[in-house]
Amino acid sequence: MGNIFDILGPVMVGPSSSHTAGAVRIGMVARQLFGRQPEKAEVILHGSFAATGKGHGTDRALIAGLLGMMPDDMRIPDSYEVAKDMGMDFVMKNKNIKGAHPNTAQIIMEAEGVPQMKIQAHSIGGGRICVCKLDGIDVNFSGESCTLIIRNVDEPGRIMEVAAALSKAEINVATMQVFRDKRGGTAVMVVETDQVIPQSAIDELESKPGIIRVKFLDPNGSV
Amino acid sequence: MSYQSMEEAQLRGEKENIPFWKAIQLEDAQERDVKIEDSWEKMKYMWQSMLDALDAYEPDKVSRSGLVGTEGGLMDNYRENEEPLCGDFVSKVMSNALKMGCNNACMKRIVAAPTAGACGVLPAVLVTYYKEYNVPEEKMIEAMYVAAGLGQIIANRAYLAGASGGCQAEIGSGSGMAAGAICYIKGGDTDQIGHACAMALKNLMGLVCDPVGGLVEVPCVKRNVGGAVNALAAADMALAGITSKVPVDQVIDAMKEVGDKMDVSLRETGVGGVAGTPAAQEVVEKLGM
């Protein structure tokens, strides 16, 4: 269990920490991972999110997050209108996602000049979330710490390169997870760090052979 | 490491000769590695947010489902024009509990304490008392620490989510936290704070989480009233010298046991209890859920 401000708090727009505040966080983390505001988003609600999402404002909360709002933003109930003003097109669908957690949303984001991104995340209560799929690959992170996400070719030496680059930038690794779709296919490294990773280190990683894409999520940064 | 029991927090208080709220604050500063001034400022922000949240109530606004929203205004009208059975102060507490519950359902900004569904209990008790009796703001913020500390002990020994332990974990915990906090404001010592919390928890033990259509509206909004009034009664008993024969830590453990035995249909699934009644099913059908 967290600190006393997880008990007395958060300050949030109602009515539900899991279905509203958590949904805002899912949208927010998706936006941070995408690196910018999507021009087009497709949002899929599953399970309890689909069944009670409308009454809980889950739909509006997810869009609010994609627009960069925090869980206490008073504009959350009006996020559909804000999306129009800010030039973000979106569709909202209910769909059963096999085997997914009851409070799951899937978001596909598009913008000109950048590859499409698809994330799946679920809300675990108290406004906290877990990102569980990134472009079809299973992952598992909360977005509460600095998180480095690297897509690379599944071949020997890639993990060492990443570790070396982080070491050079004096970044301490808190946790590290490695996933892949198949042997020799695409792999994903999720590295949670104690420090914010400087852009120079991200650029260096991105230039290495075998590294496909690098994303850095700073929970206190703005996108 | 946060307190695992009231006993532990009390021991520290006695050892260092500090009040309960201070023991909670020191632990928070240590846990989050911040200055005690920063901890205080954050708690002050929570308190201010509660005051603001209550002010934001609009009696004409209803939730998206249309099920709730006007209750706070109705209670105010009644209170002002008739003689409520519960008297002036308690009827104001009831009114404020309804307003916060409605605000939450209407997607306004609230302070989850301990959850969004139970966000009306603590402000109904604390803000109403603050406004009626002119208590210094510092004292209210100290009381917020008392509430947070009790909530944390409940979270460490049992749970705070309806999906885990039923409404006893949400409104019940909110009521226990509010009982301890208001007991402190009225001059109760750490023992009395513990008794107030224990009695409030015991009175709501077994309360199930059965929201109609899974929405945080029916019966949640009105249960905030139940939790707030129960908190006042428990605090008054403790201040009168009435004790809980079972210490608060053991009451929390009992609450956990009861929650663990609660059928899943009664834990925020919108299936059993009030949610399972024909009237509730009709609502669900009408809303197209």
The C-alpha atoms of residue B232 and residue B251 are separated, in whole angstroms, by: 18
Q: What is the pTM of this model?
A: 0.90
**Domain A4-135, CATH number (from 1.10.287.3510, 1.10.10.10, 3.10.560.10, 3.30.1330.90):** 3.30.1330.90
Mean pLDDT of chain B: 96
For residue B133, what pLDDT is reported?
Answer: 97
For residue B35, what pLDDT is reported?
Answer: 97
Estimate to the nearest angstrom the gap between the alpha carbon of A114 and the chain centroid: 17
**Domain A146-217, CATH number (from 1.10.1040.10, 3.60.21.10, 3.30.70.260, 3.40.50.720):** 3.30.70.260
Asked if B216 and B80 count as a contact pair (C-beta separation under 8 A), the reply is no
Residue A54 sits at the chain B interface (C-beta within 8 Å): yes
Of A3, A55, A125, the CB nearest to B32: A3
Q: With contacts defined as CB-CB under 8 Å, which chain B residues touch A20?
A: 107, 116
Task: Please say if the pLDDT value at position A221 is more than 80.
Answer: no
Asked if A128 and A3 count as a contact pair (C-beta separation under 8 A), the reply is no
Which of B268, B221, B207, B223 shows the shortest CA–CA distance to B65? B221
Q: What are the structural domain ranges in chain A?
A: 4-135, 146-217
For residue A2, what pLDDT is reported?
Answer: 72
For residue A102, what pLDDT is reported?
Answer: 87
Closest Cα in chain A, distance from residue B271 (Å): 12
Task: Please say if the pLDDT value at position A126 is more than 90.
Answer: no
For residue B178, what pLDDT is reported?
Answer: 98
On the question of a cis peptide bond just before residue A77, with omega within 30 degrees of 0, the verdict is no
Closest Cα in chain A, distance from residue B79 (Å): 26
Which of A193, A12, A196, A213 shows the shortest CA–CA distance to B103? A12
Asked if A63 and A43 count as a contact pair (C-beta separation under 8 A), the reply is yes
Same fold yes or no, A4-135 and A146-217: no
Dihedral of the alpha carbons of A27, A29, A35, A41, in degrees to the nearest 10: -20
Asked if A24 and A103 count as a contact pair (C-beta separation under 8 A), the reply is no
Contact A3 B114 (CB under 8 A): no
The C-alpha atoms of residue A11 and residue B1 are separated, in whole angstroms, by: 24
The C-alpha atoms of residue A22 and residue A115 are separated, in whole angstroms, by: 26
Q: Tens digit of pLDDT for each residue in B12-40?
A: 999 999 999 999 999 999 988 899 999 99
DSSP code, position B274:
G
Contact A54 B64 (CB under 8 A): yes
SS3 B243: coil
Closest Cα in chain B, distance from residue A211 (Å): 36
On the question of a cis peptide bond just before residue B114, with omega within 30 degrees of 0, the verdict is yes
Task: Please say if the pLDDT value at position A1 is more than 70.
Answer: no
As a whole-number percent, the residues of chain B with pLDDT over 90 amount to: 95
> Quick one: average pLDDT of B49-67?
97
Closest Cα in chain A, distance from residue B149 (Å): 7
Q: With contacts defined as CB-CB under 8 Å, which chain A residues touch B68?
A: none
Of B65, B109, B213, the CB nearest to A72: B109
Contact B108 A13 (CB under 8 A): yes
Residue A16 sits at the chain B interface (C-beta within 8 Å): yes
Task: Please say if the pLDDT value at position B1 is more than 70.
Answer: no
Chain B 200-229, residues with CB within 8 Å of chain A CB atoms: 213-217
As a whole-number percent, the residues of chain B with pLDDT over 70 amount to: 100
**At B163, is the pLDDT very low, low, confident or very high (cuts 50, 70, 90)?**
confident
More confident: B71 or A6 = B71
Task: Please say if the pLDDT value at position B253 is more than 70.
Answer: yes
Three-state SS annotation for B179-242 = HHHHHHHCCCCHHHHHHHHHHHHHHCCCCCECCHHHCCCCCHHHHHHHHHHHHHHHHHHHHCCC
> Quick one: average pLDDT of A69-75?
96
For residue A207, what pLDDT is reported?
Answer: 93
Residues ≥6 apart with Cβ < 8 Å to B165: B158, B159, B255, B256, B258, B259, B260, B262, B267
